[in-house]
Amino acid sequence: MTNSKDISFSNLDLVLIAITISLLVISWGYLIIEYSSLPDIITVHFDALGKPNGYSSKENIWFAPAIFSILSIAFIFGAKHQEAITFPKRKIGSTEKSSNLKMMLYTALLLAIICPLIVYTIIEASITKNFEMPWLMPIIIGIVAIYIGLFFIINLKS
């Protein structure tokens, strides 16, 4: 049963959700396929130049996609049920709901975009000798900069 206070997703919102879910599924699929080829000790941290500098056991690779998936799904549900998650409980106006909806869906998408990058990087760095990814930080910084730009554009509109 739908709560009358909940909002409906537009077609664009549904596309954003579909892309988010697809990216998360791709991350999980890639991890499941590659897991057996990983060494017992994997790379889990990189310096600013993309060189591995932190290691852990193979089982810890499941934490990254799990955390990103939980957060992404939480943002999607939070976008749908905004008044249920506000603290302190209050009535949210339609303009604020619309702004919150977009930002929560864009945040879920941001997390879902970063998830496969991190999973891919961890797997490749763990398999490949002398692995370096100098382009990793600029890509992540660029994605976050676009997100921050969207945040300001959406907030200026409302």
Parse the chain into domains and list their residue ranges.
11-157
pLDDT at 1 (0 to 100):
41
pLDDT at 2 (0 to 100):
46
pLDDT at 116 (0 to 100):
95
- pLDDT tens across the length of the chain (158 residues): 445 456 789 999 999 999 999 999 999 999 999 999 999 999 998 888 888 889 999 999 999 999 999 999 999 999 998 888 877 777 888 888 888 888 999 999 999 999 999 999 999 999 988 888 888 888 888 999 998 998 888 778 76
* C-alpha pair distances (Å), 101 with each of 15, 47, 75, 89: 14, 34, 9, 17
Q: Answer whether 93's CB lies under 8 Å from 11's CB.
A: no
